[in-house]
Amino acid sequence: MNVLVTGGAGFIGAALANRLLPAGHHVRVLDDLSAGNPERLHADIHFTRGDVTDKPKLWALLHKVDCVYHLAARVSVPESILYPREYNATNVGGTVALMEAMRDAGVKRVVLASSGAIYGEQTQTLVTEMLRPHPTSPYGVSKLSAEHYVTTIGRLWGIETVILRIFNAFGPGQPLPPAHPPVIPLFIQQALGGGSVTIFGEGRQVRDFVFIDDVVHALVTAATAQGVNQQIINIGSGVGTSINQLAEMVGRVTRAAMHILRVGTESGGVSRLVADIAQAQTLLAYRPQTSLPAGLQLTIDNDVRFRQR
Ligand code: NAD
């Protein structure tokens, strides 16, 4: 297949592009490098630097493409609270521009990387795709809006659409920006650095951490699976882990003499968000292969930032 991965120089996109290439696909990547790094990509991947709202660039890249994986997005919840207009422009405007360009180029299918963030606070232990979303940030709103555009436009124009609501992905190469870093690489860095692992508040927030290889496998499968048109599918591990439990696991896996420093209060966000993955099991034969402890070990072993210590 000829595929385009938007946001393909990012954490998930690069892992996906590098997986598709050895499977025999011709892989093109579009990324504006606002957060991505093209050095992550195998040399045989056709990389173009550009904005996902740039339709002429999209047209050129979509020639003879069979499937688009749409991952280009601004991805920080706290940042989205400061800059909702920018999040809307990229995450919603970029999605609509892509759909228009796909229609013009005659592309058959799009797989959209959406997010568990669209659910917001829910009462259920496991969230199913049927629940009414209550996003609590502009980021969540933008991803939900992108979902609506993709399914609605797809239905109107005969483009097949598959939406994957990804929960908390982690693994080697996950960015560690100084402002609002994701919790797993931050804890590993803090533990291996011999310092304290910082937990805000009680550490009782529960999340669904899913290893990058499982996310990539689901994305790959979604491009060719039958009976998935117009479907929305959770991609998580199905297992809830509190921040306190995560800190303990990081301590065990790193074997670091770390101690936990509790400061302030929890930094916002919902109290619990864990995926019901029954739909993914049925439609994509999805079975997460890597447990959280195993994924933490793989992250430490395969991430150059942690190996050098
Ligand atoms: P990432 O920031 O590493 O990747 C996003 C990529 O998009 C970056 O390389 C960035 O440079 C690029 N990008 C941003 N704006 C762009 C624009 N205007 N034009 C072209 N490229 C642009 O983040 P990620 O974690 O790899 O996320 C990939 C996708 O998966 C996103 O759509 C995100 O919303 C979704 N997602 C990720 C997670 C997770 O846990 N990592 C969870 C749920 C959903």
Residue 33 neighbours by CB under 8 Å, 6+ apart: 9, 49
Task: Please tell me the distance from the alpha carbon of residue 301 to that of residue 309, in angstroms, as a whole number.
Answer: 11
Asked if residue 218 has its Cβ within 6 Å of ligand 1, the reply is: no
Domains and CATH numbers, the chain: 2-169+211-235 (3.40.50.720), 170-208+239-273+290-307 (3.90.25.10)
Asked if residue 237 has its Cβ within 6 Å of ligand 1, the reply is: no
Asked if residue 52 has its Cβ within 6 Å of ligand 1, the reply is: yes
The single residue listed with the structure tokens 């049925």 is: 282
Is the pTM higher than 0.85? The answer reads: yes
pLDDT attached to residue 195: 75
pLDDT attached to residue 305: 86
Say how many Å lie between the CA of residue 263 and the centre of ligand 1: 29
Look up 149 and say whether it is catalytic.
no
pLDDT attached to residue 257: 83
pLDDT attached to residue 256: 87
Task: Please tell me the distance from the alpha carbon of residue 47 to that of residue 45, in angstroms, as a whole number.
Answer: 6
Asked if residue 9 has its Cβ within 6 Å of ligand 1, the reply is: yes
- Beta strands 272-273 and 2-6, pairing class: unpaired
Task: Identify whether the C-beta of residue 101 lies closer than 8 Å to the C-beta of residue 62.
Answer: yes
pLDDT attached to residue 267: 64
Q: Provide the 8-state DSSP code for 63.
A: T
Say how many Å lie between the CA of residue 31 and the centre of ligand 1: 9
Say how many Å lie between the CA of residue 36 and the centre of ligand 1: 8
- Residue 187: both structure tokens together: 């804890």
E strand residue ranges, the chain:
2-6, 26-31, 46-49, 67-70, 109-115, 160-166, 168-170, 196-200, 206-207, 209-211, 231-235, 241-242, 259-263, 272-273
pLDDT in tens, 105-135: 999 999 999 999 999 999 999 999 999 999 9
Task: Please tell me the distance from the alpha carbon of residue 100 to that of residue 64, in angstroms, as a whole number.
Answer: 15
Say how many Å lie between the CA of residue 101 and the centre of ligand 1: 20
Say how many Å lie between the CA of residue 70 and the centre of ligand 1: 9
Asked if residue 72 has its Cβ within 6 Å of ligand 1, the reply is: yes
Q: Which residues of the chain fall below pLDDT 50?
A: none
Asked if residue 191 has its Cβ within 6 Å of ligand 1, the reply is: no
- Residue 214: both structure tokens together: 């499982």
pLDDT in tens, 136-162: 999 999 999 999 999 999 999 999 999
Catalytic residue among 87, 119, 139, 149: 139
Ligand 1 pocket test: pick from 75, 186, 214 the residue with the most ligand atoms within 8 Å of its Cβ. Answer: 75
